[in-house]
Structure 1
Amino acid sequence: MLPSQLSGVYRQYKEDTDSVAAWLASTAKSCGYPADLLASPSWDAPQAKKSTRLKGKQRKQAKASGKANTAPKTSKYIVAIKDFLPLADFIAGRTNPSVTVPTVFSQTLNRVITLRTGYGQMRTESGAEPDAEGDEKHGYFVGVLQAVRDALRPRMTTEEAAASADKPSPSSNASTFQATAEDLGNKFAALNVDDPSQAFIDDFTSAPVERPKAQEQDPVDYTAEEPVSLEELLFSMTLLFNDLMKIRSRIDWIWSNHRDGFFDLGAAAVATNIAIALARGMIEEVEPILNRYEGGAYGVLNKLFLIIGHRKGYTLEQMVLDGPDNFPYDLYELTDEAYLVAYRLLLSCADVLQPNQLPLIKEGMFGHYDAKSDRTKKSGREKFLEDQILIMELFTEFITLIRCVASYPVEDEVIRGMRVLEKTKTVSFSLVFAVQMVLDINHIMRDGARSSFNIMVQQTSAIETHLKSYLEYHKNLRIDNWPASNDMALKDFIRRIQWVGSDPIHKVKSKVMKSMGVPVSPQMELHRMFIYSPVIAGMYLYRTRYEMWDCGIAIANAWGSIAYTGHLYNALRQQNLIQGTWPDMDLTLSLLGESNVWVGDERPVSIGDCFQKFCLQMGVTASAFTTKRRKNIGSLHSRAGPRGFKDGCPVSAKFTAEWISGNDSDFSWTPEMIKDILARSRFIVEESGENGVTITALDTPVKGKGKGKSQQKGKVDMPTADALAKALILALHFESMEMAFPYTLMHRWCWNLLRQVKNECDPLLRQLYTPSYLERENQLPWIIGYILMAASGIDGGVQDERLLKAAAGVFSVMTETEAGMVSMVVMKKLGFDIGFEAEAEESDAEEE
């Protein structure tokens, strides 16, 4: 289950209300409240409840978090609303001993009262039709809560008693629902999601982590009675709407910035899909209540549409039309805000779905989608038609994928919801929200969606090329710790890229059409799903890039090429034997992080330290390189073995290929995971202005690992869903360069460089270390140890820099020519324009 802040205000409200009821009931019970006075059946004969014993993974997680020994509640009791005040009066009247009301109870009760009273005022000011019965029920519950607070005020702490007495009335307080009512009358308040109402922040973001609890010895699980009325349903839906609007605004913000070139496609897609998944969790919290109403969520949305429309000045005749097609196209913006456009289109999709037929539509049946056209000049009917083309054509893609294409490498929230629709023909509100995000993103991106598709094609094609080049390079060059099975996995990887590139969905559709004698229209273009859904295109790019990054790091670790060459490069620079820098290596070392390359996190300066740290990185002792111990090298390896690169991309690594494909059932938002994400994203500064978003690293290396100065121990301030989406997009974007870096290309260049160093130094190496210093090419990294050892004077105590100077001659090619920028050129072609700023010398800084 998600932390309550990520599940939305309604979940937090429910937990608040239940905790108030639990404290009242259990405290009164412990003080001797007579059970026969209860309006509900006695808590001594509670309702039966299913076992709460944890099983499987949940049990392991509970054990790991230290909660496994918590005694489960044995039964459930629903506290009637009419019992709240008698219980409070009884507790307040106890004198021997008297009961002190915990501060957390007072704060929780105040939150619930503020929320309920704010909603009542919003209803009045919104212009909604009067509902005497509903208002009476709503006001009754608020009155009960206020009476409970008044009864218990003498038992509160002095501070809380004063605070609750001075609590401003709803008429003088800008509540959550005032903000909601205003926002519902605008198009997301110009995407300003960073400034929600202060009441919302104070009452439902920072505080509700801690709530009052039932008495420890009480085995009953208490919950508050749920009022059943249309008014309560609209209250719940308004809470949900407010949360969904913030997520919707955040997603619009993400894709506006991607369109303008500020956010990476893969990062934008993953952050968006997570935001939609969090929205699904919020919807599922409220869905049982929505299903009580006639028409379910669709009926409630129509009701809200009428309320919002009435507030904006529309008449009932304008909103409810006569005739078979009674959709109010002239009020398109209003229906779009209320999710009725997406809902109506999905209901149409469900109607045409047949068990044994693909929903193939004739190209151009509804017209042709023109992303280059100016949507702002379209009428409401034209906008709806454009949406219809998008959704109907995507629907064909999705159902074809679900029914005929197995093991597809990507599954976003839309495909997930479509699988449910395909099985049940039921349109869930969570799918409606996901499809609405598809529409929103296309409205924002317009023809830019095709540009995002081209980015995906370019980068995945580059990955395929790098994989092929690696396999060709190592066709006759093997190493013990890189078995043939690894190469087979790389070949499978290439085949999957090629399979997706061939568009298996298009192939199935074409095959079915030909079998039906229907000609395949040239207008039925390839990769329609990727073009219409930048989220799916971005998630596929992210998965492919993630797997390539994983392969690249594994290859670099197996061969040691990058790390060991980096040690020699550093030694040459520290000894001033080469002029200039090797940009590719500097970027690589920066991305990998100091702790991954230098034992102790600090670059070695002296040649002796360079040799010692190289030996530690390689996992051998210095004695391994002496001529006297040459035949016993195998016994001189450390127990830990070579140190490889690890802990890369701390946020991106959470979302594995299994998660992207929808197969990671173990994924869960733990507080530890959220803490890591927030710590990582604190290394980033976002500046919004006319020129978009600027992202800058703070006082840490490019590679933060989630362990920088901003990492805080202890309690985590849990973010709301839209705040988490913001943190995610910033962190994922920041890591996208590291994920996209061509490590296999860098590996090949480093290995070629080691070959050249070996050829240049071979005569002297033979002289110093005998012709047997190198037996096979896969031992090339050992020559770095010989070079550094000779220069440090460990073997015999005499420093000999001849090998080091010979190596410097080879490295000068990388520091003085464009050969040292091959990887950066590749990155620039992929959209990552990288530059370096020279650090001021300490002496210069002191003079200033």
Structure 2
Amino acid sequence: MQPLPLASAYRQYKEDTDFVASWLASTARACCYPADLLATPSAPSARAAPSKRPKGKSKKKGTASSRAAAAAETTPAAPKYTVAIKDFITLAEHIAFREPAATVPSLFSDSINRLIKLRSFIPEGMATQDGSPDYNSPQKPYCFLGVLERVREVLMLNTPPAANPAEPAPGTDDSGSLLTTLFAALKVYAPAEIPDSAPRDSPPAQPTAADVVQFEAELQTSFNDATFAFALLCSDLGRIRNKIRWIWTGYARAFDTAAAAIATNAAIGLAVNLIEEVVPVLKHHDLGELVDFFYRALCEAKGYTATYFQPQDQEAWAKHETYDVEDDAYVITYQLLRMLAENLDSHRLPLYKDGRFGFYNPFGSQLVKDYPVRDEFVRGVGEMDRTGKVPFYAVFAPQVHLDTHYVLRAAAILPFENMMRETRTMGASIDASLGLHEDPKVDAWPAENDQVLTNIRNSILRIHNDPIYEAKAKVWVDEAGSVPPSTQPNRILKTSPLLAGLMLYHFRAQVYKMGIAVANAWGAIACTFHLYNAVWNEKLINGRWKDMHVVLGVVLGESNLFVGHPTWNVDEYFSQFCLQMGITAAAFAQNRRHGDLNAESRAFKPRGIKKRARAWRMFSDGFVDNTKKYM
């Protein structure tokens, strides 16, 4: 079961719809309904599975479990069939008129009641431009809501009492309350209403029938279905936006810059996954029409007249009176990205000056294609450049950017300042480390490692100098003779707290990795700590070295510095140090054979410090190696 904050209203709606279709089809099949009239086969997936052939050492370590897993992969998947919506009533009548009558489970009753309650809440704005609901159009001669109500009537299910629209929860902001008012029926899917002690009443993926045939409901892709799915999606995204606002509110008080950025990008990645679930329905319609339609519905629900959402010119879409509505419907960010998409050219670098948009022709090598980190906004603009279309996740990402600025206000530049301050410290630390490594040399630290540190240092300097600014400055000088004062370095990092935090994580992760390598090669931390531990416990020094206590209690932990338990007495100081340096425990056994202990023997290998902060390091693929799209 997913954690409650990750529950998706659209996914629950889709599961309910599929379960209703699955139960009707499987039960009708058990009641001798003609198989050729039951359903049509679903299209199989064309994606090929990757090769699972073991290689290298893994080839020699084949186990029974791996062979069983391989056998399971070769097992053909159960056939899946699509049940047409128009057949729901026919299947229900066939089930109801059979003797003896089939027992309708409570799970089916709950699912269909939720669907009816949700689909019956169609505001006046959620209608086609001619004023009639889309399901009454000639292209779709049946109404899904009417089908569900007829199925419930045929199967003689009890109709639940009508529920009054729920009042907004205390503390809900204007964005959440507006959507709550418009789609009050979403209350049946609100995760907060599910008790923590009870499991989520989610229908199973398939009916409890003896056979393995799977059924799913026909995918509904009409414009009305698309606007309905879009409304559910916006409800889910609204909850995510509220959490992101909470993150940056916490940053203004105590949260770490990189931690806030990583959490924000993870939340955006979750939103992207939710959007991809709804894409099969939305892709059949123009995103701009869906956004405009949803905006009109929200305006009508809010009580605005038609003049507020019928712009007379291209610049009239941004209105102060309906700004909150535009914010909920993603009107502003969509329109900005739409205009950007119309002017994008992969062979030109866009430059802004005095509010005017112009193009200049730089050479391809001047474009910054290897910028260290990218968020979903940057990726979305890249997809717009390739396809010429605006993906909805690219609309959501800049909306989060605006939300962050609404929370931080003038403090929005603080993440950038924190990133610059910490990376300067990292660079100075790397310079000092390289100076110490010049002489003497050790076998555990080859020259290639110094080159890695040098590369990290150069990367930090490159970001401080801003490669984007350098590319723009060259274009300005070539085309206009000088760089305008309004063009400043690091503008993207100054204006994006998210990118500034991701950049800080990018360098932190690399310095942490190489810092562990330096500590293991030279033994500086372990040797210093054991010496300090001995003189501190024996009260041979007066001062307290706070760094060593932080290393033991927070940074590395006891397991990285001691073999077994910590040492607090004279008899064990030296033995614990030797064990840390890799000398075998047998050397300290009471019955060992007498002889000199050769501490320089190559058979002894010092215990290396192991990396910690597992949750922190799990994002390195996305923001250091750039091998993952999202989290």
Task: Indicate whether the TM-score tops 0.5.
Answer: yes
3-state DSSP of counterpart to 2:614: coil
**Corresponding residue for 1:829?**
none
SS of 2:216's equivalent in the other structure is: strand
* Cross-structure match for 2:143: 137
In the other structure, the counterpart of 1:298 is 288
Residue pairs, 1:440-839, within 5 angstroms: 440-579=403-542, 581-591=544-554, 592-600=556-564, 602-621=565-584, 628-631=595-598, 633-634=600-601, 637=604, 641-656=605-620, 658-660=621-623, 663-665=626-628
Alignment match of 1:271 (pick from 259, 263, 267): 263
Say yes or no: does 1:231 pair with 2:224: yes
Q: How does 1:350-369 map to 2 (within 5 A)?
A: 350-362=341-353, 364-365=354-355
Partner SS for 1:477? coil
Q: Deviations over 1:444-502 (max 9, x none)?
A: 32332222211111111110000000110121022221111111111111111111211
1:610 shift after superposition? 3.9
Query: What amino acid is the match of 1:240?
Result: L
What code does the residue aligned with 1:498 have?
L
1:648 Cα shift? 0.8
SS in 2 for 1:491: helix
What is the identity, as a one-letter code, of the residue corresponding to 2:77? Answer: K
Following TM superposition, by how much is the alpha carbon of 1:598 offset from its aligned partner in structure 2, in angstroms? 2.6
Contact 2:233 2:278 in 1 (8 A): yes
Cα deviation, residue 575, structure 1: 3.8
Q: Which amino acid aligns with 2:274?
A: M
Q: Does 1:344 align with 2:335?
A: yes
Confirm or deny: 8 A CA contact 1:409 1:540 kept in the other structure.
Answer: yes
Q: Give the structure with the higher percent helix.
A: 1
Q: Which residue of 1 aligns with 2:72?
A: 69
**How far off its partner does 1:576 sit?**
4.2
Q: Helix, strand or coil: the match of 1:447?
A: helix
Give the deviation of 1:303 after TM superposition: 1.0
Does the CA contact (< 8 Å) of 1:121 and 1:171 recur in 2?
no
Partner of 2:399: 436
Q: Distance in 1 between matches of 2:373 and 2:67?
A: 31
Alpha-carbon distance between aligned partners in 2 of 1:191 and 1:457, rounded to the nearest angstrom: 40
Name the residue aligned to 1:26.
Answer: 26
Letter in 1 for 2:367: C
- Kindly state the Cα deviation for residue 554 of structure 1 after the two structures are TM-superposed: 1.8
Q: How far apart, CA to CA, are the structure 2 residues paired with 1:26 and 1:58?
A: 38
Q: How many residues are treated as equivalent by the alignment?
A: 598
Q: Supply the distance in 1 between the matched residues of 2:455 and 2:31 (Cα, whole angstroms).
A: 69
Structure 2 residue aligned with 1:78: 82
Q: CA deviation at 1:31?
A: 5.2
Contact map agreement 2:268 2:397 (CA 8 A) in 1: yes
Q: Give CA deviations for 1:201-240 in whole Å, capped at 9, x if unaligned.
A: 2569952666142568746442101334333222211110
The secondary structure found in structure 2 opposite 1:222 is strand
Question: Measured at CA, do residues 101 and 310 of structure 1 come closer, stay the same or move farther in structure 2, by a change above 3 Å?
Answer: closer
Q: TM-score, normalised by structure 2?
A: 0.82
- Asked if the contact 1:318/1:328 (under 8 Å) is kept, the reply is no
Distance 1:37 1:190 in 2: 45
Question: Equivalences for 1:93-492 in 2 at 5 Å?
Answer: 106-107=106-107, 110-111=110-111, 113-121=113-121, 123=123, 131=132, 134=135, 137-144=143-150, 146-147=152-153, 150=155, 168-172=160-164, 174=166, 186-188=174-176, 199-201=189-191, 202=193, 207=200, 211-214=204-207, 218=211, 220-258=213-251, 260-293=252-285, 296-330=286-320, 331-362=322-353, 364-365=354-355, 404-492=367-455
> CA offset at residue 506 of structure 1?
1.0
SS of match in other structure, 2:444 = coil
Distance 1:7 1:402 in 2: 45
Output the CA distance in 2 between the equivalents of 1:213 and 1:10: 18
d(CA) in 2 for partners of 1:451 and 1:91?
A: 65
How many angstroms does 1:125 deviate by?
Answer: 11
Task: Report the Cα offset of residue 270 of structure 1.
Answer: 1.2
Q: Distance in 2 between matches of 1:300 and 1:504?
A: 38
Separation of aligned partners in 2, 1:416 and 1:518: 32
Q: Distance in 1 between matches of 2:612 and 2:457?
A: 23
Matched residue SS, 1:356: coil
Counterpart of 2:81 in 1: which secondary structure? strand
Distance 1:305 1:537, change over 3 A: same
Give deviations 1:384-407, integer Å, cap 9, x for gaps.
xxxxxxxx79x99xx999981132
Deviates more, 1:498-507 or 1:399-408: 399-408
Conservation of the 8 A alpha-carbon contact between 2:10 and 2:229: yes
Q: Secondary structure at the match of 2:143?
A: helix
CA distance in 2, matches of 1:72, 1:52: 14
Residue 139 (structure 2) aligns with: none
> Cα offset for 1:80?
1.8
1:227 partner SS = coil
Change (3 A) 1:12 1:197: closer
Q: In structure 1, what is the Cα distance between the partners aligned to 2:67 and 2:257?
A: 36
**In structure 2, what residue type is equivalent to 1:342?**
T
Pairing 1:55–2:50 present: yes
Where 2:606 maps in the other structure, the secondary structure is: coil
Change (3 A) 1:664 1:133: closer
Please give the TM-score of this superposition, normalised by the length of structure 1: 0.63
Aligned to 1:708: none
| Residues 636 and 317 (structure 1), Cα distance of their counterparts in 2 relative to 1, 3 Å cut | closer
Residues 544 and 305 of structure 1, relative CA distance in 2, 3 Å threshold: same
CA distance in 2, matches of 1:482, 1:272: 37
How far apart in 2 are the matches of 1:100 and 1:52?
A: 40
Deviations 1:809-832 (A, max 9, x none): xxxxxxxxxxxxxxxxxxxxxxxx
**Structure 2 unpaired stretches of 5+:** 56-64, 137-141, 181-185
Give 1:122 shift: 6.1
1:334 & 1:284 partners in 2: Cα distance?
24
Structure 1 pair 519–256 and aligned structure 2 pair: CA distance change class (3 A) = same
The C-alpha deviation readout for 1:638-666, integer Å capped at 9, x for no partner, is: xxx4332224112111010x411572249
- The letter for the 2-side match of 1:16 is D
In 2 relative to 1, CA 573–91 (structure 1 residues): closer, same or farther, beyond 3 Å? farther
The amino acid of 2:560's aligned partner reads N
Unpaired segments ≥5 residues, structure 1: 154-164, 367-391, 669-848
Match of 1:370 in 2: none
- Write the distance in 1 (CA, Å) between the matches of 2:616 and 2:179: 26
**Contact 2:174–2:324 (8 Å) recurs in 1:** no
Report the secondary structure of 2:325's partner residue. helix
Equivalent pair of 1:9/1:204 in contact (CA under 8 Å): no
Q: Is the 8 A contact 2:175 2:238 kept in 1?
A: no
Matched residue, 1:9 = 9
The alpha-carbon deviation at position 271 of structure 1 amounts to 1.1
Distance 1:142 1:660 in 2: 47
Distance 1:139 1:21, change over 3 A: closer
- 1:651 maps to a residue whose letter is A
Aligned to 2:58: none
Relative to structure 1, the CA distance from residue 406 to residue 489 in structure 2 (aligned partners, 3 Å threshold; closer, same or farther) is: same
1:351 Cα deviation from its structure 2 partner: 1.9
**Aligned residue type for 1:548:** V
Identity of aligned residues (%): 34
In 1, Cα distance between the equivalents of 2:625 and 2:168?
A: 36
Contact 1:400 1:509 in 2 (8 A): no
SS in 1 for 2:431: helix
Contact 1:191 1:249 in 2 (8 A): no
